[in-house]
A = this chain, B = another copy of it.
Amino acid sequence: MSVRVQREDFDVGAEIAALTQGNMQIGGITSFVGLVRDMGGNTGSAAMTLEHYPGMTEKMLATIDAEANARWPLEASLIVHRYGRLEPGDQIVLVIAASPHRAAAFEACHFLIDWLKTKAPFWKLEETGDGDARWVEARGSDDAAAARWSANTGKEAAE
């Protein structure tokens, strides 16, 4: 159970190794990496700047992480979220869930990223390529994805 908010990039393999090594109860590790997609079309660069709310961000990520650990039998979990300016192809976020059982690892990891998307105070300012920039709007599909977990206690994945 650990969360980090940082400007620097991260190394998925190293994070997985550090989080899980020495723990022989782990049968499966699911990880998710979010990348900056090039939504550019003809607008050229689709670089973006991620703003966040220092203090509250860490608090919300820790709350989400604790919720995942309460719902699923996890041996280890991690959320790393970057802020600052990022370019297409750059890594934005890393979520890892490790469990004795693979279904729990998958569900917890999916839950973590779905909840994070709607509950962690980050905002994306997308460069439009003409020197201007626009705030990315929240998507209804993200709300729907997060809501999916509201009535789900996750116990079905504990086997």
Contact = CB atoms under 8 A, between A and B. Distances in A.
> What copy number does this chain have within its complex?
2
A32 B31 CA distance: 6
Contacts of A151: none
A115 to B, nearest CB: 13
Interface stretch (A53-61, A66-74, A105-113, A123-131): A105-113
Given A25-B37, A30-B30, 10 more contacts: A12-B31, A22-B89, A24-B37, A24-B88, A27-B34, A28-B33, A28-B34, A28-B35, A30-B109, A31-B31
Interface of A: 11-14, 16, 20-35, 37-38, 88-89, 100, 102-103, 105-106, 109-110, 113, 141, 145, 159
